[in-house]
DNA sequence: ATCACTTACGGGTGACGTAAAAATC
DNA sequence: GATTTTTACGTCACCCGTAAGTGAT
């Protein structure tokens, strides 16, 4: 069979167009490539090049071979990636999320269901999440909408409702609810790790200003020392409690509610069955 | 990247289940495989085997890697086959046919259109023809029916009408036509290289006997010396003329007419454009 | 003279075999 | 004791680099 190094050299020659250019790209000498290309022709038993006296050109055979070689090399790289991803998935459960809310609440449950596994979570855009799920970087991803893809298994995993957290003397502090529009133009303290909420509030309040803080600790520190409004959700209130110095006013817009869904490859569904059953018990009923 | 020999050894270990068995299959020693498998684990950076004291078993990672390796090797073999086929197609034009009729007439035309090329023709079953076309063994195939396959380009190339060739004193010699059923049960001289006609006449006249002769010369020799009926077609009469000792009676059944169509891969259509245009001029108008 | 490729020759990596040991059945 | 895997060591193939040569720009 054909050695891999020959495939690599062939693709380089194909891409560079000349032996000497390819030799530089590969950090090899020209004679090496001459020999390798001759060896390839020997293996195929077929001319791959048109040779004028001081020029070689891939002919039709050679171009086909080079295209195939490129594909094979890509497939090899894919093999390495897939095997490594599979191995990681056996000791690590990586969850990619569009927003942090659901996992704040569910992480302990997931850890208890898979005690030996390292649970890792990452906030990413939807596009990155799909990419990562397909490459095996994530075993599961959590999106804020439902979709039907035959290759994916989908399970609801809760919702989250955004609130304004304002000082007690703020003009909306006594209201039972408030719209984005009503608060547009104000300045807000905001954590930088809020996932898709960032996109939502900027879209709904294009004239507002957002003062980003890295980390919840730093944010709460600042909240205590400031009279600026910030954000909370029903989830964060349940988990971290209320600050008596603040009034929490639910946001009336539909965009202030996110519904979350946890996806994994259908082929992995049985592997994480216990998790999905737990989600069903918690949110379906 | 991963050397090809490692992929080969991995697939062998996967298929054989044990290092020693694989070493026999590959004509290598066991230590070689031990080292290679360790090297693979090193490259992947991942355990591929569960090792008990004197046993190794591919684990989940290893099985995935082996499956991928098998695919890659198949793809490499495919690459070699495709390149060789492409090379052959540049100097040889191989036509696979279900029946010999059309090419008897058209071979000279094809040769004159592609003067540098070797023209090769083969009689095969439809299944073999498709297989060969896809593997690049045949550049074109001729079938006796129309089909719509988006990947194939189809051009009519004539028809052929079967006749009974009987001695002048035969009971049907004066008829203007005759059915298969009417002649069922008789004995016929027949060339063995008649392609699909063989299937047709046996199906239409299940009680007839067919005395096969290799080669048209041998057949005509026998025809002169015998009073047995044989077959002719409008094509063979045009090409080889009539034997005055015989009456030629057209067969009235629909099955006695074959309509031929020449197929090639759509990607090759422009390569053989001149040929297809010649067919159009001859048969379409 | 420079560039692009080929041919010829020498060196070092590494793939393989042999030998031997360890462990299980 | 037979089988299977692993470790250690020596060898040879072969992949690459250097040097020199040819022809074209």
Q: What is the pLDDT along chain A (285 residues), one digit of tens a residue?
A: 999 999 999 999 999 999 999 999 999 999 999 999 999 999 999 999 999 878 899 999 999 999 999 999 999 999 999 999 999 999 999 999 999 999 999 999 999 999 989 999 999 999 999 999 999 999 999 999 999 899 999 999 999 999 999 999 999 999 999 999 999 999 999 999 999 999 999 999 999 999 999 998 899 899 999 999 999 999 999 999 999 999 999 999 999 999 999 999 999 999 999 999 999 999 875
- Spatial separation of the C-alpha atoms in residues B64 and B240, rounded to whole Å: 63
List, for residues B256-267, the tens digit of each pLDDT value.
Answer: 999 999 999 999
pLDDT attached to residue B285: 59
Q: Given phi > 0 = left and psi -120 to 50 = alpha, else beta, which region is A165?
A: beta
On whether any CB of chain A is under 8 Å from the CB of B50, the answer is: no
- Spatial separation of the C-alpha atoms in residues B67 and B266, rounded to whole Å: 32
**Nearest chain B alpha carbon to A61:** B83
CB contact under 8 A, A1 and B77: yes
- Give nearest nucleotide to B24 (CA–C1'): D4
Q: Give the domains, in start order, of chain B with CATH numbers.
A: 4-86 (1.10.10.10), 88-157+259-283 (3.40.190.10), 159-257 (3.40.190.10)
List, for residues A26-41, the tens digit of each pLDDT value.
Answer: 999 999 999 999 999 9
Distance measured from the CA of protein residue B12 to the C1' of nucleotide D7, in angstroms: 23
C-beta separation of A62 from A49 below 8 A: yes
Burial B194-206 (b: 16+ CB within 10 A, else e): bbbbbebbeebbe
- Spatial separation of the C-alpha atoms in residues B1 and B17, rounded to whole Å: 25
C-beta separation of B9 from B33 below 8 A: yes
CB pairs under 8 A between A and B: 92
User: Confidence band (pLDDT; 50, 70, 90) for B284?
Assistant: confident
The residues of the protein lying within 7 Å (CB) of strand C read A 18-21, 30-31, 34-35, 37-38, 49, 51, 54-56; B 3, 5, 9, 27-29, 31-32, 35-36, 39, 52-54
**Nearest chain B alpha carbon to A71:** B75
Task: State the DSSP H helix or E strand holding residue B210, giving kind and residue range, or none if neither.
Answer: strand B209-213
Averaged over B47-52, what is the pLDDT?
Answer: 91
Residues of B in contact with A60 (CB under 8 A): 86, 90
CB atoms within 10 A of CB B173: 16
- Spatial separation of the C-alpha atoms in residues A127 and B235, rounded to whole Å: 64
pLDDT attached to residue B216: 87
Residues of B in contact with A69 (CB under 8 A): 79
Tell me the average pLDDT of chain B: 94
Residues of A in contact with B43 (CB under 8 A): 80
| Helix axis angle, A19-26 to A4-16, nearest 10° | 120
List, for residues B80-115, the tens digit of each pLDDT value.
Answer: 999 999 999 999 999 999 999 999 999 999 999 999
List, for residues B129-141, the tens digit of each pLDDT value.
Answer: 999 999 999 999 9
On whether any CB of chain B is under 8 Å from the CB of A81, the answer is: no
On whether any CB of chain B is under 8 Å from the CB of A50, the answer is: no
Closest residue (CA) to C1' of nucleotide C24 is: B54
Averaged over B43-47, what is the pLDDT?
Answer: 93
Look up residue A186 and give its DSSP letter: -
pLDDT attached to residue A52: 87
Averaged over B165-183, what is the pLDDT?
Answer: 95
- Spatial separation of the C-alpha atoms in residues B214 and B228, rounded to whole Å: 17
- Give nearest nucleotide to B36 (CA–C1'): C15
CB contact under 8 A, B83 and A3: no
- Over 90: is that where the pLDDT of B13 sits? yes
User: Confidence band (pLDDT; 50, 70, 90) for B246?
Assistant: very high
Averaged over B9-25, what is the pLDDT?
Answer: 93
pLDDT attached to residue A285: 59
């Amino acid at each position: 069979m054909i050695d891999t190094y020959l495939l690599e050299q062939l693709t380089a020659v194909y891409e560079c167009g000349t032996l000497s250019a390819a030799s530089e790209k590969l950090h090899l000498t020209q004679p090496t490539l001459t020999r390798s290309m001759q060896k390839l022709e020997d293996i195929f038993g077929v001319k791959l090049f048109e040779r004028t006296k001081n020029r070689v050109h891939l002919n039709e055979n050679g171009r086909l071979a080079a295209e195939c070689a490129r594909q094979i090399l890509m497939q090899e790289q894919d093999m390495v990636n897939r095997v490594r991803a599979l191995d990681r998935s056996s000791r690590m459960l990586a969850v990619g999320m569009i927003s942090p809310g659901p996992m704040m609440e569910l992480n302990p449950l997931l850890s208890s269901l898979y005690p030996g596994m390292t649970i890792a979570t990452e906030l990413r855009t939807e596009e990155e999440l799909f990419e990562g799920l397909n490459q095996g970087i994530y075993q599961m991803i959590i999106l804020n909408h439902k979709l039907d893809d035959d290759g994916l298994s989908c399970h609801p995993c809760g919702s989250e409702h955004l609130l304004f957290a304002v000082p007690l003397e703020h003009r909306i502090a006594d209201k039972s609810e408030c719209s984005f529009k009503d608060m547009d133009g104000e300045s807000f303290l905001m954590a930088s790790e809020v996932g898709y909420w960032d996109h939502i509030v900027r879209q709904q309040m294009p004239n507002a200003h957002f003062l980003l803080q890295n980390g919840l600790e730093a944010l709460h520190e600042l909240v205590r020392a400031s009279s600026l409004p910030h954000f909370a959700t029903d989830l964060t209130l349940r988990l971290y409690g209320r600050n008596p110095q603040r009034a929490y006013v639910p946001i009336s817009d539909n965009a202030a509610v996110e519904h979350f869904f946890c996806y994994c490859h259908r082929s992995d569904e049985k592997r994480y069955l216990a998790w999905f059953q737990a989600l069903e018990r918690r949110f379906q009923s």
